[in-house]
Amino acid sequence: MIQTLRDNPQDAEIDSHKLLVRAGIVKKLAGGLYTYLPLGMRSLKKVQEIIRQEMDRAGALEICMPILQPAELWKQSGRWESMGPGMFRVKDRAQHDYSMAPTAEETVTEVIRNVINSYRQLPVTVYQIQWKFRDEIRPRFGLMRSKEFLMKDAYSFDTTMEAADKSYMAMFEAYKRVFARCGLKAYPVEADTGDIGGKFSHEFHVLAEAGEDGIAFCETCGYAANLEKAERKVAVRNDADCPAYEEVHTPDAKTIEQVSKFMGVPGSAFVKSLIYNADGKPVMVCVPGDRDVNDVKLKHFLDVKKLELADFDTVLKASGANAGSVGPVKPADASIRIVCDQALKGAKGCIVGANKDDYHLKNVDLARDCNIADADFADLVVVRDGDICAKCGKPMVIKRGIEVGHVFKLGTKYTDAFNAVYKTDDLKEATMIMGCYGIGVSRTVQAVIEQSHDKDGIVWPASVAPYQVCISLLDPDQAEVAAVADKLEAELEAMGVDVIVDDRAERPGVKFKDADLIGFPVRVVVGAKGLANGGVEVKRRDQDKSQMKIVAPVEAAAAIKELLK
Ligand code: ATP
Ligand code: MG
């Protein structure tokens, strides 16, 4: 049941997605839904087995929780609302609401609070490998962002912060081992905690052009953070005083780029001003003209639940002008809160929107001319290449990554909501401290392919390859030749190596192409001509033809074992 395809699937944008489908690893059923074909199932199981071994080694206990989760659990944590349309919801025949697990913090807290009641039973970390469901806005890239995916989710429960830190570090170390054993180079990076809540988290990223996340790296001190969270250091400004501000007519110039061209000054001389709707209240956000607002940082700084760019009407009411001419000097709504990126502290002589259509103001001194509280200057922009590391002061570089895992310190967000308490040794009640830890198992399979392929196909690491060895049997109808392949297959299996024999009635070229496309770590060619010349051909997938070896059939198994090391 191995089906390889010559053509790339139409919806595939990245190499690993194309290869997954062409090599017959998965088959698409519908958008964001895939069947794991026999080859894919084998790799998925191998990744699971590595995860299981490392979770067990770290002392975590395997459980399995229901995929259907009663709505009451989500209402108790407040996430029935906040998860929004990203959560699949179903009703039973009695009209009771359920979710199809997008994650399981609520369920596990309910389970643990009913199982654990004494400090003597703590600490405990439980995990499951279970299907998760998310109605992603844009399911894409194959298994990378699908509607249904396999996740390993673990949860730790502790009595003290120090103990919780230890549980977190145990998972952190286990994750490093898991990804290394899958043949992946994965980097831990500081990350935002998002909807799950909590105070502290690391994502594990596989670097790849196709990655959806930007990551700031400091190669000097090792600082690494998701762009959602990455901070930068800004120099203290020493701007020269400027004369009083004046209006400049800037007809037909709406964007900073257009106005900067029109006025002949660089974008950095501008202050970009945007009106946001923050939990229903308008807020003006000012950043240097050549910078982008980081919505995640802004949301944290404002401490709001819902944040979006304001609509036309709100902008007009707040500023007095349309979006292209908004600025911090005397907006129509004099009471609007203005928050500014830290780099604008002490900015003088800047150009801002005049709150009057088609006009800007020049020579603005933010402290002199605007009403901005000192405490409303904060780090609000997206870090970019060359920005200065907040830790060590050296320049950072931006790379792209695929998030394969995520570890969080949750604190008591869920254990408070569910009253998950235990009896202390002096018989008082205390709340458990929690952590949660996810690995995208199916995404990891594809990340391996994204990191390890060439123009001919996948180059599987031996640990997660569907089969470690492919024997291409060139003359399957010649009994003596087939017998050599059979014997070698049996020897390899006895050595614990998984092997597949390609005994189809196909031309050698087709067999070689398929073996390269699927990417078995070692290829063995058994054919009448080769045997007459003294042996079988063995070659690792990542070696070129010139490195192919001819070995006598009796020595083949040992030679293959050597290549797999
Ligand atoms: P992302 O930012 O990529 O959407 P997330 O922060 O929503 O991920 P978590 O809730 O932390 O992800 O889930 C744990 C892991 O599950 C992630 O690290 C990722 O590897 C995987 N994952 C999340 N969403 C999907 C998806 N739609 N398809 C496949 N894997 C996913
Ligand atoms: Mg997500």
Angle of CA points 438, 441, 445, to nearest 5°: 140
What is the C-alpha to C-alpha distance for residues 447 and 19, in angstroms, rounded to an integer?
A: 12
User: Is the distance from CB of 330 to CB of 320 less than 8 angstroms?
Assistant: no
Q: Is 146 in the pocket of ligand 1 (CB under 6 A)?
A: yes
Kindly report the pTM of this predicted structure.
0.91
User: Is the distance from CB of 314 to CB of 283 less than 8 angstroms?
Assistant: no
Say if residue 221 is in the same domain as residue 252: no
pLDDT of 197 strictly over 80: no
Ligand 1, atom 3, residue with closest C-alpha: 403
Q: Tell me the average pLDDT across 188-196.
A: 82
Ligand 1, atom 14, residue with closest C-alpha: 438
pLDDT of 503 strictly over 80: yes
Ligand 1 geometric centre to CA of 440 (Å) = 6
Percent of the chain with pLDDT over 90: 92
Q: Tell me the average pLDDT across 156-182.
A: 97
- Could you tell me if residue 462 is inside a domain? no
What is the C-alpha to C-alpha distance for residues 115 and 130, in angstroms, rounded to an integer?
A: 21
Q: Which ligand places an atom closest to the C-alpha of 31?
A: 1
- Could you tell me if residue 390 is inside a domain? no
Residue 88: which CATH number? 3.30.930.10
Instruction: Count CB-CB contacts under 10 A for residue 3.
Output: 12
Q: Tell me the average pLDDT across 222-244.
A: 94
Q: Is 154 in the pocket of ligand 1 (CB under 6 A)?
A: no
Say if residue 218 is in the same domain as residue 308: no
pLDDT of 11 strictly over 80: yes
pLDDT of 467 strictly over 90: yes
Say if residue 268 is in the same domain as residue 405: no
- Residue 430 is given by DSSP the state E
Say if residue 218 is in the same domain as residue 260: no
> Residue 530: which H helix or E strand, with range?
helix 528-532
Say if residue 80 is in the same domain as residue 214: yes
What is the C-alpha to C-alpha distance for residues 430 and 408, in angstroms, rounded to an integer?
A: 21
Instruction: Count CB-CB contacts under 10 A for residue 332.
Output: 13
Q: Is 438 in the pocket of ligand 1 (CB under 6 A)?
A: yes
Question: How many domains, the chain?
Answer: 3
Say if residue 71 is in the same domain as residue 106: yes
pLDDT of 201 strictly over 80: yes
Query: Exposed, middle or buried: residue 319 (CB in 10 Å: 0-12, 13-18, 19+)?
Result: buried
pLDDT, one tens digit per residue, over 529-558 is 999 998 999 999 999 989 999 999 999 999
Ligand 1, atom 2, residue with closest C-alpha: 403
Q: What is the pLDDT of residue 181?
A: 98
For 339, the 3-state DSSP assignment is: strand
Q: What is the pLDDT of residue 9?
A: 87
Q: Is 152 in the pocket of ligand 1 (CB under 6 A)?
A: no
Closest ligand 1 atom to 439 CA = 15
Closest ligand 1 atom to 151 CA = 16
Q: Is 103 in the pocket of ligand 1 (CB under 6 A)?
A: yes
Say if residue 47 is in the same domain as residue 150: yes
Closest ligand 1 atom to 404 CA = 20
Closest ligand 1 atom to 136 CA = 27
Q: What is the mean pLDDT of the chain?
A: 95
Give the closest residue to 377 by CA, choosing from 463, 474, 271.
Answer: 271
Give the closest residue to 468 by CA, choosing from 511, 551, 524, 508.
Answer: 524
Q: What is the pLDDT of residue 332?
A: 96
What is the C-alpha to C-alpha distance for residues 157 and 388, in angstroms, rounded to an integer?
A: 38
- Could you tell me if residue 387 is inside a domain? no
Q: Is 192 in the pocket of ligand 1 (CB under 6 A)?
A: no
- Could you tell me if residue 536 is inside a domain? yes
pLDDT, one tens digit per residue, over 308-365 is 999 999 999 999 998 889 999 999 999 999 999 999 999 999 999 999 999 999 999 9
Q: Is 15 in the pocket of ligand 1 (CB under 6 A)?
A: no
- Could you tell me if residue 386 is inside a domain? no
Confidence band, pLDDT 50/70/90 cuts, at residue 284? very high
- Could you tell me if residue 354 is inside a domain? yes
Q: Is 211 in the pocket of ligand 1 (CB under 6 A)?
A: no
Give the closest residue to 63 by CA, choosing from 124, 146, 134, 149.
Answer: 124
What is the C-alpha to C-alpha distance for residues 434 and 155, in angstroms, rounded to an integer?
A: 7
Q: What is the pLDDT of residue 341?
A: 97
Say if residue 153 is in the same domain as residue 48: yes
Ligand 1 geometric centre to CA of 149 (Å) = 9
Give the closest residue to 309 by CA, choosing from 272, 346, 282.
Answer: 282
Residue with tokens 């492919």: 470
Say if residue 24 is in the same domain as residue 153: yes
Say if residue 291 is in the same domain as residue 318: yes
User: Is the distance from CB of 210 to CB of 20 less than 8 angstroms?
Assistant: no
Q: Is 297 in the pocket of ligand 1 (CB under 6 A)?
A: no
Confidence band, pLDDT 50/70/90 cuts, at residue 511? very high
b/e code 390-416 from CB counts within 10 Å (16+ = b): beeeeebebbbbbbbbbbbbbbebbbe
- Could you tell me if residue 391 is inside a domain? no
Domain range for residue 539? 467-563
pLDDT of 425 strictly over 90: yes
Confidence band, pLDDT 50/70/90 cuts, at residue 195? low
What is the C-alpha to C-alpha distance for residues 103 and 434, in angstroms, rounded to an integer?
A: 15
Instruction: Count CB-CB contacts under 10 A for residue 61.
Output: 12
Ligand 2 geometric centre to CA of 258 (Å) = 35
pLDDT of 198 strictly over 70: no
Q: What is the pLDDT of residue 504?
A: 94
User: Could you tell me the CA-to-CA distances from 246 to 143, 266, 364, 427 in Å, in that order?
Assistant: 56, 18, 8, 71
Q: Is 405 in the pocket of ligand 1 (CB under 6 A)?
A: yes
**3-state secondary structure string, 389-415?**
ECCCCCECEEEEEEEEEEEEEEECHHH
Ligand 2 geometric centre to CA of 159 (Å) = 30
Residue 344: which CATH number? 3.90.960.10
pLDDT of 199 strictly over 80: no
- Could you tell me if residue 89 is inside a domain? yes
Say if residue 250 is in the same domain as residue 360: yes
Say if residue 404 is in the same domain as residue 354: no
Residue 528: which CATH number? 3.40.50.800
- Which pairing describes strands 224-226 and 213-217: parallel, antiparallel, or unpaired? antiparallel
